[in-house]
């Protein structure tokens, strides 16, 4: 255990030689300590058998370094937000600016607008100069000051733009596609022999980025999603044989849907991408919904049901759309509308009059400002991203694992997803809440 695996080795631009100017470390009597590159965060904290070589996996710990690589008075920093909205984007922007400016003394910070479009000449987007005064109140608003866009752009043109504008540090805030882009940018930079650091800040409202036990905006998102579940329950109860179907976010990972169940015990069925389900037949969803209504009626209780479906669930039941969106994601069929119609048809065929309502709250969720919990989490991420960047680390993302902030190489992050394990304690607890059978 004195050694750790080199799975998560971090690239640097060169040797850090400049003493950190962070004022709190330099006060007389300060007990604060810099973090060394040798400080590690174990990948596994819970174990049965330690003979597995994976037990040596460890991340480099994030945090302020004693020596930094860039000269704060000269370094020029760029920043970009990509993909769909997520609560906390403005907190991340704000904190990066504040930490760079107030603590390191960096003066030149630029916001490229509309995601990676911002580097591409043909779009003609402005570049914003980001100052503490300019960003100081942006965290009160949802969305992103810099706007966003989906989809990749030409990597060479992006690096050309960074060179031309003499940007030495680039922060990329986004999800899988964005981080893939960031990794390619870092590779192109390396190929050209440039000294430009690329630091990713993970953003995904679905909470599906690897090596991040949670991501910013998630708490805000699922807390708001709970409101829609409560509405669903009230509506289902409000009419004879009321059924409410709620579609929530979750393309590949059903964490939001599953968490609403744990927070709000009024859900009868939850459907996530990780667990396939059938519609009809003995183990079918529709059969179980019908059964539930009959059971309640029999027990002299109000027959009603709430069904929650993540957008990526049950895609095998839909004929593929065969198209992709600007980010290159396969465009999913609309499982919400599909299920809504199937439920209607099913109960019509059974000659049972139901009152079906359909709720789809996603845009009301994504656009919120971060709640206090997420605001703090954004602060931590941005703070650590700044320290990593100033120390000359590159091609990495700030992760969060076992309660610690870490450096994660981008190449380890991309191309995979964090998903619900259907055999985990978490999923067991979700099913214990809904009462639905495993694999409905």
Q: E strands along 63-147, which residues? A: 67-68, 76-81, 108-112, 127-129
Q: Of the listed 71, 154, 176, 206, which one is catalytic?
A: 206
- Binding test (CB under 8 A) with a second copy, winner from 5, 12, 187, 371: 371
Q: Which of residues 181-200 bind a second copy (CB under 8 A)?
A: none
- Which residue's entry shows tokens 């695996």? 5
Q: Please, what is the minimum distance in Å from the beta carbon of residue 433 to a second copy?
A: 8
Q: E strands along 187-268, which residues? A: 197-202, 242-248
Q: How many residues bind a second copy (CB under 8 A)?
A: 107
CA 30 to chain centroid: 36
Using the minimum distance from each CB to a second copy, give the nearer residue, 244 or 253: 244
Is 268 a binder of a second copy (CB under 8 A)? no
Is 418 a binder of a second copy (CB under 8 A)? no
Pick the stretch among 10-18, 175-183, 364-372, 408-416 that binds a second copy (CB under 8 A): 364-372
Pick the stretch among 12-20, 152-160, 204-212, 257-265 that binds a second copy (CB under 8 A): 257-265
Is 5 a binder of a second copy (CB under 8 A)? no
Q: Which of residues 150-179 bind a second copy (CB under 8 A)?
A: 150
Using the minimum distance from each CB to a second copy, give the nearer residue, 105 or 194: 105
Question: Exposure string (b/e) for 272-305, b if CB count within 10 Å is 16 or more?
Answer: bbbbebbeeeeeebbbbbbebbeebeeeeeebbb
Pick the stretch among 66-74, 168-176, 219-227, 411-419 that binds a second copy (CB under 8 A): 219-227
Q: E strands along 130-194, which residues? A: 169-174
- Binding test (CB under 8 A) with a second copy, winner from 230, 276, 284, 338: 230
Is 345 a binder of a second copy (CB under 8 A)? no
Pick the stretch among 9-17, 178-186, 223-231, 338-346 that binds a second copy (CB under 8 A): 223-231
The DSSP letter of residue 330 is B
Three-state SS sequence of 265-310: CCCCEEECCCCCCCCCCCCCHHHHHHHHHHHHHHCCCCCEEEEEEE
Two tokens, residue 370? 């971060």
Active site residue 206: yes
Is 260 a binder of a second copy (CB under 8 A)? yes
Q: Please, what is the minimum distance in Å from the beta carbon of residue 47 to a second copy?
A: 6
Q: At what angle do helices 425-434 and 255-263 cross, to 10 degrees?
A: 50
Q: With beta carbons less than 8 A apart as the criterion, state whether 357 and 228 touch.
A: no
Is 352 a binder of a second copy (CB under 8 A)? no
Tell me the residue length of the chain.
440
Q: E strands along 354-394, which residues? A: 355-359, 393-394
- Binding test (CB under 8 A) with a second copy, winner from 17, 19, 32, 154: 32
Is 434 a binder of a second copy (CB under 8 A)? no
Q: Which of residues 105-144 bind a second copy (CB under 8 A)?
A: 114, 117, 123, 126, 136-137, 139-144
Q: What is the Cα–Cα distance from 211 to 408, expressed in whole angstroms?
A: 8
Q: Collapse the DSSP code of 13 into the 3-class scheme (helix H, G, I; strand E, B; otherwise coil) and give the result.
A: coil
Q: Please, what is the minimum distance in Å from the beta carbon of residue 423 to a second copy?
A: 3
The DSSP letter of residue 108 is E
Using the minimum distance from each CB to a second copy, give the nearer residue, 150 or 184: 150
- 134: CB partners within 8 A, 6+ apart: 97, 128
Q: What is the Cα–Cα distance from 297 to 240, expressed in whole angstroms?
A: 11
Is 338 a binder of a second copy (CB under 8 A)? no
- Binding test (CB under 8 A) with a second copy, winner from 154, 166, 240, 350: 240
Q: Which of residues 272-331 bind a second copy (CB under 8 A)?
A: 300, 302
Using the minimum distance from each CB to a second copy, give the nearer residue, 294 or 438: 438
Q: Please, what is the minimum distance in Å from the beta carbon of residue 194 to a second copy?
A: 29
Q: With beta carbons less than 8 A apart as the criterion, state whether 23 and 103 touch.
A: yes
355-359 β-sheet, strand order = 269-271, 304-310, 242-248, 355-359
- Binding test (CB under 8 A) with a second copy, winner from 107, 357, 411, 417: 357
The half-sphere exposure of 379 on its side-chain side, counting CA atoms within 13 A, is 8
Q: Please, what is the minimum distance in Å from the beta carbon of residue 52 to a second copy?
A: 12
Is 334 a binder of a second copy (CB under 8 A)? no
Is 263 a binder of a second copy (CB under 8 A)? yes
Q: With beta carbons less than 8 A apart as the criterion, state whether 13 and 198 touch.
A: no
Pick the stretch among 8-16, 20-28, 172-180, 204-212 that binds a second copy (CB under 8 A): 20-28
Which positions are catalytic? 206
């Amino acid at each position: 255990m004195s050694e750790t695996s080199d799975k998560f080795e971090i690239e640097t631009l060169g040797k850090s030689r400049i003493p950190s100017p962070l004022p709190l470390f330099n006060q007389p009597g300060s007990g604060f300590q810099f973090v060394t590159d040798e400080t590690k965060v174990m990948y596994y904290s819970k174990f049965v058998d330690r003979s597995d070589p994976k037990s040596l996996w460890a991340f480099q710990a994030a945090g302020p370094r004693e020596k930094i690589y860039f000269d704060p008075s000269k370094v020029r920093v760029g920043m970009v937000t990509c993909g769909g909205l997520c609560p906390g984007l403005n907190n991340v922007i704000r904190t990066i600016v504040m930490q760079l400016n107030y603590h390191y003394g960096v003066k030149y910070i630029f916001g490229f607008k509309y995601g990676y479009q911002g580097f591409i000449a043909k779009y003609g987007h402005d570049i914003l100069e980001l100052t503490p005064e300019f960003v100081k109140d942006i965290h009160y608003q949802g969305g992103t000051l810099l706007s966003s866009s989906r989809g990749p752009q030409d990597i060479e043109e992006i690096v050309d733009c960074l060179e031309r504008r003499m940007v030495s540090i680039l922060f990329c805030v986004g999800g899988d596609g964005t981080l893939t882009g960031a990794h390619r940018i870092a590779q192109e930079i390396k190929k050209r022999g440039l000294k430009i650091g690329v630091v990713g800040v993970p953003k995904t409202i679905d909470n599906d980025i690897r090596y991040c036990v949670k991501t910013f905006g998630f708490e805000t998102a699922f807390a708001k999603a709970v409101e829609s579940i409560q509405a669903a329950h009230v509506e289902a109860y409000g009419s004879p044989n009321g059924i409410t179907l709620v579609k929530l976010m979750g393309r590949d990972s059903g964490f939001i849907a599953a968490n609403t169940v744990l927070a709000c015990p009024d859900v009868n069925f939850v459907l996530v991408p990780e667990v396939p389900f059938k519609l009809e037949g003995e183990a079918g969803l529709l059969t179980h919904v019908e059964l539930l209504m009959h059971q309640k009626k029999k027990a002299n209780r109000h027959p009603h049901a709430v069904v929650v479906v993540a957008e990526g669930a049950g895609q095998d039941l839909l004929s593929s759309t065969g198209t992709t969106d600007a980010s290159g994601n396969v465009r999913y069929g609309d499982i919400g509308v599909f299920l809504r119609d199937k439920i209607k048809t099913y109960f019509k065929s059974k000659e049972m009059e139901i009152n079906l309502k359909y709720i789809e709250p996603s845009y009301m969720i994504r656009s919120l400002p971060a709640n206090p919990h997420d605001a703090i989490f954004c602060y931590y991420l941005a703070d650590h991203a700044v320290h990593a960047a100033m120390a000359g680390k590159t091609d990495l993302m700030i992760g969060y694992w076992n309660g610690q902030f870490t450096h994660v190489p981008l190449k380890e992050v991309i191309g995979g997803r964090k998903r619900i394990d259907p055999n985990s304690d978490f999923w067991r607890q979700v099913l214990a809440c809904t009462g639905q059978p495993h694999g409905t």
